[in-house]
């Protein structure tokens, strides 16, 4: 196994991690921004007001994108298993 193969697998893994985490992080960012904007407008500084909607939104995002996430992970793993013979020099 040469350096380019290791770098290619590492790059693919990082891209997959970014793709899988993006829906959750973007959802939490948008909901957190909206709640903080609402808190600054109304001057209500309650911790649970920020946490609970964000947790619910992230849960909904996981329900919506969960199947796609699993499909992407399985495809990546299948591709890695398919690469094993060429990585071992066969």
pLDDT tens for 42-63 read 888 777 788 899 999 999 999 9
pTM (two decimals): 0.81
C-alpha to C-alpha distance for 15 and 80, rounded to whole angstroms:
14
Q: What residue has token string 């985490």?
A: 21
pLDDT at 46: 79
User: In a 3-state reduction of DSSP, which class is residue 88?
Assistant: coil
Where b means 16+ CB within 10 Å and e means fewer, 28-50 reads eeebeeebeeeeeeeeeeeeeeb
Q: What is the pLDDT of residues 2-43, one digit of tens each?
A: 888 889 999 999 999 999 999 999 999 999 999 999 988 988
Exposed, middle or buried by CB within 10 Å (0-12, 13-18, 19+), for 58?
middle
């Amino acid at each position: 196994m040469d350096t380019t193969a290791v770098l290619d697998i590492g790059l693919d893994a990082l891209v997959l991690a970014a793709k899988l985490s993006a829906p959750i992080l973007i959802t939490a960012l948008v909901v957190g921004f909206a709640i903080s904007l609402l808190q600054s407008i109304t001057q209500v500084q309650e911790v649970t007001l920020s946490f609970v909607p964000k947790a619910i939104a992230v849960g909904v995002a996981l329900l919506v994108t969960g199947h796609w996430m699993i499909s992407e992970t399985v495809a990546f793993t299948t591709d890695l298993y398919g690469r094993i013979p060429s990585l071992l020099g066969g």
